[in-house]
Chain A
Amino acid sequence: MGELLQYVITGLAIGMVYSLIALCFVVVWKSSGVANLALGQLVFVSSWFAYEMLYQRGLPEWLGLIMVILFALILGWLIERIVLRPLIAQPILSLITVTLGLGYFLQGLAGIIWSQSLVPFQLFPEQPLHIGSAIIKPQELWAALISLLLFGLLSLYFRYNKMGIAMRATADDQKAVQACGIPVTRIFSRSWMFSCVLAAVAGVLISSIAGSVGNSLIPTGLQAFSVVILGGLDSFLGAIIAGPIIGLAEIVGSGYLTSLTWPGIREVVPFIIIILVMFVKPYGLFGEERIERI
């Protein structure tokens, strides 16, 4: 029983971070219809930047994290302006491929600047809390809290802020929005900046849970796609709910399945879930099923 409780707590914390990564996909997908497959690399690059700021430069934590957020904002702006602006209204194949190329590019760039393969990374004090027989690491608690806070802020933003409402409108109908005089390109740019900030926060959180920054962050970004698929591509709520489900499935599943199958099943559980969802309910729990016409 204590084992299960432990799995549930870790799974929920990891799942929250997955939700953040999934949200960073959904924000871009909803506003501009670009499927960003470079999530893993965005998480990867911003984690390395956080490492650089906190460990190499020795900045205090609050300043370092502000620098990370600034870096993410600039990165998002640059990506939208340089890479995706010229490709507006191109076929989906090009849009997917360009993010793959972008991912490759970012990975190479990070490899050039930070050539170590694995470095320790710790952000929060190391004093485990005890609930019954389970041990909660403080970084997991922080991760869950920060994620919840961000979900709350984002939903408020999309509900009450003028720009947020404009972004939702863009997701609904780009042409109508343009006709109303809302600058669509600025919305795209804004959504990429948001997305990169979410990726950066998720990167910092997941690195501090893992205790290190390394190459395994890229597959983590890919695993987060299971959240996107399960929740439905265009649903914020879906991403928020599916994240903990995937996290639980991953941790609990691997905890009990490893002895039945092979080690390392934790890494493939999300991918197996993707395939299952594809077969059963391809548009996810909350995704809008598009009915196409000719």
Chain B
Amino acid sequence: MDLPAGTRNYSYSEDTTIFRTKTQKVLLTMLVLVLLTAPLWFGNYWLSVANLIGITIISVTGLNLLTGYCGQLSIGHAGFMAVGAYTSAFLTQRFGIPFPFALISSGLLAGAVGMIFGIPSLRVKGFYLAISTIAAQFIIIWIIQHWTPVTGGFSGLDVEPASILGFVFKTQTSKFYLILVIAAAAIYAAKNIARSRVGRAFVAIRDNDLAAEVMGINLFRYKLAAFFIGCFYAGIAGSLIAHTGATISDAHFPFMDSVLFIGMIIIGGAGTTIGPIFGVLFIRLLDVTVTKLSPALQSAFPHLPPGFTSGIAPLLFGLAIILFLIFEPRGMAHRWQLFKSSYRLWPFSY
């Protein structure tokens, strides 16, 4: 049900086109226009929210390739992001390496670290892998907290804003465009990885890794490739976090974020390209709403317990994850698909 009724593909290039119909192209143009002009009507606050959303989308898209497509659960993605962030900060501060190279190398190093912790995935899966990635998160954060000469310890590092060929991304607006371009490229790459030979191998491994191996898919190669790609994305996102905020410290990459990333995939819809976008938007906007609303609620209803403001956000996140898993395990992407097909068939229901 990917195409509206009556639309046929007559050539291979038509078959591989992502945006196929006129409506899709019009909607895409409108979306691009809206995004490009967003800084005009977003205030600084909303721009910073949008930047955070963009960075999270990059990271979660990587996690989606790893967990949603390849089925290898990683609950240490914030740790891998931290690797990328510190690599990038260290390289630019200490050696004066230009931002684009630091960005790529932070992706590469995060990918390499991810591959190391992904090696157990060859023998174990499911719960074991979840635990080993949790261990990865805690070990990485511990190293960051204590390897003071490189990471600055608990006090963290100061990071210069990103700059490409002399142009410094100092304002929220310029950061927004930087993140927008990289996020768009990341999503496009993810979409294409997912429908290539590699992506099909990932899906085969997710659905049944023994069967995939029997069919001739090299598990060693593809599982590690999934870890590398997923953590590469995390490293890029981490580098962007470092260069769009003025400082980084271990507190930017808490364990609960890793859990939240998994939640975003589930809420958005694992194993779809659009899922991570929905999931990130849902959780981040929920976060913003809660942060805005809860002090007001607290003052309006004085008998609320004093921990209400700090506790309500995790409570709602947990509730959202549980409710989605029970009532819509395929996530918002599935709902979106249902909506699209019913829109196309309207006014006839089938």
Contacts and interface: CB of A to CB of B under 8 A. Distances in A.
B142 A111 contact: no
A105 interface: yes
Contacts of A97: 262-263, 266, 321, 325
A169 interface: no
A87 B325 contact: yes
Main secondary structure of the interface of B (DSSP, over half): helix
A105 B319 contact: yes
A275 B139 contact: yes
A107 to B, nearest CB: 5
Nearest to B315: A108
A107 B314 contact: yes
Given A268-B142, A282-B120, A292-B210, A98 B322 contact: yes
B305 A98 contact: no
A79 B163 CA distance: 50
Interface residues of B, number: 56
Interface in A222-271: 222, 225-226, 228-229, 233, 261-265, 267-268, 271
Contacts of B211: 294
Interface stretch (B67-75, B93-101, B105-113, B241-249): B67-75
A92 B127 contact: yes
A230 to B, nearest CB: 11
A103 B127 contact: no
B68 to A, nearest CB: 9
A262 to B, nearest CB: 4
Among A98, A103, A293, residue most surrounded by chain B Cβ atoms (within 10 Å): A98
Interface residues of A, number: 53
A97 B264 CA distance: 11
A264 B326 contact: no
B316 interface: yes
B145 interface: yes
B186 interface: no
Interface string B108-151: 00000000010110011011101110111011001001110000
B336 interface: no
B302 to A, nearest CB: 15
Interface of B: 67, 71, 73, 75, 117, 119-120, 123-124, 126-128, 130-132, 134-136, 138-139, 142, 145-147, 208, 210-211, 214, 255-256, 259-260, 262-263, 266, 270, 305-308, 310-322, 325-326, 329
